[in-house]
Each structure stands twice: as structure tokens, then as C-alpha cells.
Amino acid sequence: MAALRANSALRLGGSLGLSIAGAESNVAIGLARLGHRVRWVGRVGADELGTLVLRTLRAESVDTGHAVTDDTGRPTGLLLTEPRMGTLTRVSYYRTDSAGSAVSPADVLPALTPGTRVLHLTGITPALGPSAAETALAAVTAARDAGITVCLDINHRSRLWTAERARTALRPLLARTDLLVASEDELPLALDRPAGSESANVRSLLAEGVTEVVVKRGARGATGFTAHETVDRAARQVDAVDLVGAGDAFVAGYLSGFLQGADMPTRLHRAVTTAAFAVTTRGDWEGLPTRDELGLLDHPDGTTIR
């Protein structure tokens, strides 16, 4: 979707910066910058904002060959962000009856070509409407049948749907998910009957067939769980200016490590590093690092690289 970003409260007017956004596109850009081959599949409107989305993805070396331009008059989705205080940001969505809400299995399934290693999707897509929810389920089912690793980031958006609606829609996806990513407050949405503790919730998910569970803890880092290990990783200490997009940057870093065959501590280290890049710059994806830049945070403050 397109994104309009304000420098102050929207009610005060002023200028807006135009870019693109979207959890899956953020992850796609993050992975492409880290040197991976990435394909983005979705539906945009036959409008200038849809052109902007596809043009930006292509400029970031993301394959859009299977993206669909809607010819029925549905517009490209839009969000507006406004800073309210410090790093607290308010987001408004305009996605009802958008092109993305009408994405169909016929749009997505042809993109799961031989050689595809990971399918990544989020809980935002099924929140957009019945067709999008059907497509998410069809995609994870086809990927699981083809031996493709399925990564699902819960990414709950309370302005799009309620927790109960989210739980009902996400449970069928979980049955076909290999790698589950969730923040601490989102984890219960993955279970019909959440337990009283995080560890009990994680054990339930692993018993149901999820191979890995990664819990994002914001400024406190993250924890990865499998049936055989639990790994904690502290966040990188940086001065945050914009938290929007940090979770997607985290996922991009984690999947990058996964695709390289790294162990869980290494995957988590890369994930918190890419998240740190995201929060130190404004925008969902603009500050994401390339592979060569991953070591920049190891330099002292004030360093000039000549």
C-alpha cells in the first residue's frame, strides 16, 4: 500500500511525505537488501499509488513479476502515520475494499514456483477481507504441501479486526506454520485457549507442530524457542526515533539468517541488528541495511567511515 507520513498531528495540517508500506513488502525489501532473492505477490490498484508500490519494490530488487494490477476500480490501499509524542506513532488505515483486500488464490499460488524456500505472510492479510483470508489459507496449504517453510508473523492490528476474529482466522494458518513470530501480547492469539504463562503457550504451539516460535520483546530483545532449545537475545542499544517497521525489520534479519543456515543465536543477532537500523531512521523500510552494513553498529558513536 501507499503511505503518507506527517511530521506533526494530522489535525494541524502541513506537508506529508509519500512512500510505500506494508508488512510483507517491508520484509521483502529487507531481505533483498541483505542479498536474497525475493518475490512479492499481491494486488494493487490501477492508479498512480499502485505504480509507486511496484516501482519502489522493483527499485529495491524485489521481483514483482507475479503482482497483479486490479482492473475493477479498487484503489491501492493507504495508511497515514502521525507522530504524537516521542516514539509513539498513530496509524490510520484506508484499506476497506482496496485492491489488496481482493487478492485471490489465483493471484498468489502461481508464485510458489519450484525452488521457493520460504513463504512469509502476516496476520494483516486475512484481516483485509474474505478473499484475502481465503488466499492466505490457500497459500500456506500449498506451501506446506510443496515442502516450503511457512513463516507467519501474527502482526495483530486492532484497527483492522478484533482479537477474537483474528484468533478464528489465524488458527487454520497455524496448523500449516513452521516458524511463528509474535510479540508478547500477540502470542495468545495463536491459541484457542491461551495458558497462564508464555512458556505454556509456547509449549502448546510446539506440540501442535510449529517448529520454531520467536517472541519479540521490543527494547528488551527477543527469545527463540524450539523443542530442544530456548535462546534469549538482548536488543541492540541505539537511540530510537521511529518504531514503525521495527518488527518487519526483525523478521527480515531472522529469515536472512535462516536462509543462510545460521543457528538460532546467529539468527536472533541479525534480527535485533536489522531492527536497530529500522528504529534509528524514519520510515518503515528506508533505513534497512545491506549485507555490508550489518557491522556498522559495532563502530563507536561519532565514527566517520572514509
Written in H, E and C, the secondary structure of 170-186 is HHHHHCCCCEEEEECCC
Q: Which residues contact 224 (CB under 8 A, 6 or more apart)?
A: 212, 213, 214, 215, 230, 231, 233, 264, 267, 268
| Of residues 160, 153, 149, 150, the one with CA closest to residue 182 | 153
**239 catalytic per annotation:** no
Q: How many other CB atoms sit within 10 Å of the CB of residue 60? A: 19
255: its cell numbers: 529469515
**φ and ψ at residue 121, rounded to 5 degrees:** -145, 170
Look up residue 289 and give its amino acid: P
DSSP conformational letter for 228? S
Asked if residues 202 and 172 have their Cβ atoms less than 8 Å apart, the reply is: no
The span from the CA of 259 to the CA of 283, in Å, is 26
Planar angle of CA 248, 168, 125, nearest 5 degrees: 35
- Which of the following is catalytic: 70, 153, 178, 248? 248
- The length of the chain is 306
Burial 267-300 (b: 16+ CB within 10 A, else e): bbbbbbbbbbbbbbebbbbebbbeeebbeeeeee
31: its cell numbers: 531481505
Q: Active-site residue numbers?
A: 248
